[in-house]
Amino acid sequence: MDEALRIARKEFTGFFASPAAFLFLGAFLAVTLFVFFWVETFFARNIADVRPLFQWMPVLLIFLVAALTMRAWSEERRAGTLETLLTSPVRPLQLVLGKFLAGVALVGVALLLTLPLPVTVALLGPLDWGPVIGGYVGALLLGAAYLAVGQFVSALTENQILAFILALFVCLALWGIGTEAFTGFFSDRVAAILLSLGTGSRFQSIARGVIDLRDLLYYLSLTAFFLLLSVGALRAKRWV
Amino acid sequence: MIQVEHLTRRYGELTAVDDVSFHIGQGEVVGLLGHNGAGKTTIMKMLTGFLEPTAGFIRVDNLRIGEDTRAIQNRIGYLPENCPLYPEMTVIDYLDYQAGLHGVPEYKRAPSVARAIRRTALREKASDTIQTLSRGYRQRVGVAQAILHEPAIVILDEPTNGLDPTQILHMRELIRELAQESTVIVSTHILQEVQAICERVLILRAGRLVLDSRLDALQSGRRLLVSVDGDATAALARVDGVEAVEERGRANGRFTYALAANDEAAPAVAAALQAAGRKLYVLQPEPHDLETVFAEVNAIESAAEVAHG
């Protein structure tokens, strides 16, 4: 765990070495604010809550996380630094966890940056903080699941643009299977299953402020599944 | 210390390493020599546990790659080909990070980093970011990374690749210094490199180990090149210590010969040519490069085949 934390620290500080980092976070923040005030017309609704913020999280986070993770392994592969990592006596699991924790911290920073929003709302009217806190916890877990997907995809290719597109594709698919536009094609039973598998539909109750253990478990298992796939992808490198 | 038996590695259809076996003892300095694509890098990648062999096994101190990979990796310091580094980190941060990954405990980390920086003469660049460094300095950072945890085995893949002559001399000096405490394996495609630093050479060609020899043994079969202003075959053949005379060509009135002779015979050759009234333009040991070694190995092999056939 010590090693994973060290890797996480290096990854986290390394991320801010490039101006792209600020661009990603800035863009995420800008889009979030745009959606909140214009698309969801916060002032016209005349309700002091931040539900629209969390309703859009499942989609907005996809783009942020895909941008954050695209370099994770593809850059190490391209530059050859993967060889120094895999020939050091560190378990691949530690490497994967390290990168993952750094990603979680970055998503945490991005979410923290949206915090002025609920604070402003609280100043304007009586805001119920329960759902807001629940929403942030849920968003972090959702982001963690996307991070695991992004990291796995990045371990498959040397090309970070390809990793970005693949991550978008997989995450959007995971989100899309739970949307009404998609579940409408199926019978009620299949639709129910799809709803329980979609990252967005799972977030509905969280956005409403209801934290269900099953939802949390869903995100955690999705995360663990893709993290293990990343470990597998790194191990498989030895046989190629 | 390192035991490699029947090591084979295939990439799909391509056999990069084909049934290679060798042993390396404690404290040896071994050069892996061969052209690009001969399998040097693949062997190093298997020794360091980055690649899994298709067949055969590697043992280090009775630990086996595959089962005790991590324990073996702990004893190995490795500079991969092309010296991969993180360009955005400073030298000192990078080394500190690598020390952590290689299990150097917290209290020893700063002294280890300082020691590696001192040994690779990186002190004035220690706080620079790696992307601002020249190729030579980067290579030194790579070596510093490899020796951080004071490994018993140091594996350097083409450590002098892309360095200028002064930097090459520094690198050789550093490798010789490392060799005092560690077993060192160096790969290169330049024979002079091996001659400058190694005691033993493993020559690879197309994935096969064609020669495993101590370097002094390799040097004994040397030839003398002679260039004179006329036909001197008879005069040369009479000289003591010259076993054979081979004409290499005539151009611009110069006759060039290759003599199967030790360089001890050179003064006698010069004297004989003087006595025969020939003007001597060149008298030198034949430059020894990979090609001539291959030619020798081939000659030995074909001779053996004839003998057995």
Residue B220 predicted with pLDDT over 60:
no
pLDDT for position A44? 84
A211, two tokens? 């934290």
Residue B264: inside a domain: yes
Q: How far apart are CA B303 and CA B198, in angstroms?
A: 28
Kindly report the CA angle at A74 between A9 and A145, in degrees rounded to 5? 65
Average pLDDT, chain A: 92
A88: chain B residues, CB-CB within 8 Å? 73, 98, 101-102
Q: What is the pLDDT of residues A63-74, one digit of tens each?
A: 999 999 999 999
A83 within 8 A of A238, measured Cβ to Cβ: no
Please give the backbone phi and psi of residue A132, each rounded to the nearest 5 degrees, phi first.
-65, -50
To the nearest whole Å, the CA of B198 is away from the closest chain A CA by 24
Note whether A87 contacts B50, CB cutoff 8 Å.
yes
Note whether B88 contacts A83, CB cutoff 8 Å.
no
A239 within 8 A of A215, measured Cβ to Cβ: no
B50: chain A residues, CB-CB within 8 Å? 83, 86-87, 237-238
Which of B76, B85, B97 has its CB closest to that of A10?
A: B97
Please give the backbone phi and psi of residue B10, each rounded to the nearest 5 degrees, phi first.
-115, 140
Which of B45, B81, B102 has its CB closest to that of A88?
A: B102
Residue B303: inside a domain: no
Question: How far separated are the first and last CA of chain B, in Å rounded?
Answer: 37
Q: What is the pLDDT of residues B98-113, one digit of tens each?
A: 999 998 998 999 999 9
Which of A10, A83, A89 has its CB closest to that of B103?
A: A89
Most A CBs within 10 Å, among B86, B94, B139, B161, to test the A interface: B86
A134, two tokens? 């629940």
Note whether A84 contacts B97, CB cutoff 8 Å.
no
pLDDT-based confidence at residue B305 (cuts at 50, 70, 90): low
Q: How far apart are CA A240 and CA B10, in angstroms?
A: 9
For chains A and B, CB pairs below 8 A equal 63
pLDDT-based confidence at residue A181 (cuts at 50, 70, 90): confident
On whether any CB of chain A is under 8 Å from the CB of B89, the answer is yes
To the nearest whole Å, the CA of B294 is away from the closest chain A CA by 31
Q: How far apart are CA B46 and CA A238, in angstroms?
A: 9
The three-class DSSP label of residue B246 is: strand
On whether any CB of chain B is under 8 Å from the CB of A85, the answer is yes
Q: What is the pLDDT of residues A186-236, one digit of tens each?
A: 888 999 989 889 998 888 888 787 888 898 899 999 999 999 999 999 999
B27 within 8 A of B176, measured Cβ to Cβ: no
The three-class DSSP label of residue B289 is: coil
Angle between helices A129-154 and A116-124 (to 10 degrees): 160
Note whether A84 contacts B51, CB cutoff 8 Å.
no
B38 within 8 A of B205, measured Cβ to Cβ: yes
B73, two tokens? 């990796």
Q: How far apart are CA A59 and CA A199, in angstroms?
A: 9
To the nearest whole Å, the CA of B226 is away from the closest chain A CA by 48
On whether any CB of chain A is under 8 Å from the CB of B55, the answer is no
The three-class DSSP label of residue A230 is: helix
pLDDT for position A230? 96
Which of B51, B73, B80 has its CB closest to that of A89?
A: B73
B142 within 8 A of B157, measured Cβ to Cβ: no
Bridge-based pairing of strands B29-33 and B200-205 is: parallel
Note whether B52 contacts A7, CB cutoff 8 Å.
no
pLDDT-based confidence at residue B170 (cuts at 50, 70, 90): confident
B32, two tokens? 């892996």
Q: What is the ipTM of this complex?
A: 0.89
Note whether A239 contacts B103, CB cutoff 8 Å.
no
Residue B219 predicted with pLDDT over 80:
no
| Amino acid identity, position A54 | F
Residue positions counted in chain B: 309
Residue whose C-alpha is closest to residue A59's, from A200, A205, A198: A200
Residues with Cβ within 8 Å of residue B303, at least 6 apart in sequence: none
Q: How far apart are CA B123 and CA B4, in angstroms?
A: 38
Q: How far apart are CA B192 and CA B198, in angstroms?
A: 10
Residue of B nearest to A78 (CA): B84
Which of B11, B84, B101 has its CB closest to that of A88?
A: B101
A153 within 8 A of A226, measured Cβ to Cβ: no
On whether any CB of chain B is under 8 Å from the CB of A17, the answer is yes
Q: What is the CATH number of the domain that holds B274?
A: 3.30.70.1710
Bridge-based pairing of strands B2-11 and B245-251 is: unpaired
A11 CB-side CA count, 13 A:
27
Q: What is the pLDDT of residues B252-263, one digit of tens each?
A: 888 888 888 877
Q: How far apart are CA B54 and CA B43, in angstroms?
A: 12
A151 within 8 A of A77, measured Cβ to Cβ: no
Residue B274: inside a domain: yes
Q: Which residue has the higher pLDDT, B124 or B234?
A: B124
Q: What is the pLDDT of residues B278-300, one digit of tens each?
A: 888 888 887 766 677 777 776 76
pLDDT for position B218? 67
A80: chain B residues, CB-CB within 8 Å? 80-82, 84
pLDDT for position B289? 67
Longest dimension (CA), chain A: 60
Note whether A3 contacts B100, CB cutoff 8 Å.
yes
| Amino acid identity, position B145 | Q
Identify the residue whose tokens are 């950072």. Answer: B141
Which of B76, B80, B102 has its CB closest to that of A80?
A: B80
Give the count of beta carbons closer than 10 Å to the beta carbon of residue B128: 15
Residue whose C-alpha is closest to residue B201's, from B188, A155, B288, A35: B188
pLDDT for position B117? 94
Note whether B74 contacts A240, CB cutoff 8 Å.
no
What is the strand order of the sheet B200-205 is part of?
B76-79, B153-157, B183-188, B29-33, B200-205, B208-214
Q: B-contacting residues of A 21-80, CB under 8 Å?
A: 79-80
Q: What is the pLDDT of residues A94-120, one digit of tens each?
A: 999 999 999 999 999 999 999 999 999
| Amino acid identity, position A51 | R
Q: What is the pLDDT of residues B53-105, one digit of tens each?
A: 999 999 998 899 888 889 999 999 999 988 999 999 999 999 999 999 998 99
| Amino acid identity, position A141 | L
Q: What is the pLDDT of residues A23-38, one digit of tens each?
A: 999 999 999 999 998 8
Taking 3-state DSSP, the helix, strand and coil percentages for chain B, each rounded to the nearest 5, stand at 40, 30, 30
pLDDT for position A97? 97
User: What percent of chain A has pLDDT above 90?
Assistant: 62
List strand residue ranges (DSSP E) for chain B, in order: 2-11, 14-24, 29-33, 55-60, 63-64, 76-79, 153-157, 183-188, 200-205, 208-214, 224-228, 245-251, 254-259, 280-285
Domain ranges across chain A: 2-238
To the nearest whole Å, the CA of B70 is away from the closest chain A CA by 5
To the nearest whole Å, the CA of A3 is away from the closest chain B CA by 7
Which range, of A38-47, A155-164, B293-302, averages the lowest pLDDT? B293-302
Note whether B84 contacts A84, CB cutoff 8 Å.
yes
Residue A148 predicted with pLDDT over 70:
yes
B97 within 8 A of B89, measured Cβ to Cβ: yes
Residue of A nearest to B94 (CA): A10
pLDDT-based confidence at residue B301 (cuts at 50, 70, 90): low
Note whether B80 contacts A83, CB cutoff 8 Å.
yes
Residue B263: inside a domain: yes
Identify the residue whose tokens are 């698919």. Answer: A173
Residue B165: inside a domain: no
Boundaries of domain holding B243: 222-285
To the nearest whole Å, the CA of A90 is away from the closest chain B CA by 6
User: What percent of chain B has pLDDT above 90?
Assistant: 45
Residue whose C-alpha is closest to residue A84's, from B186, B153, B184, B83: B83
pLDDT for position B276? 86
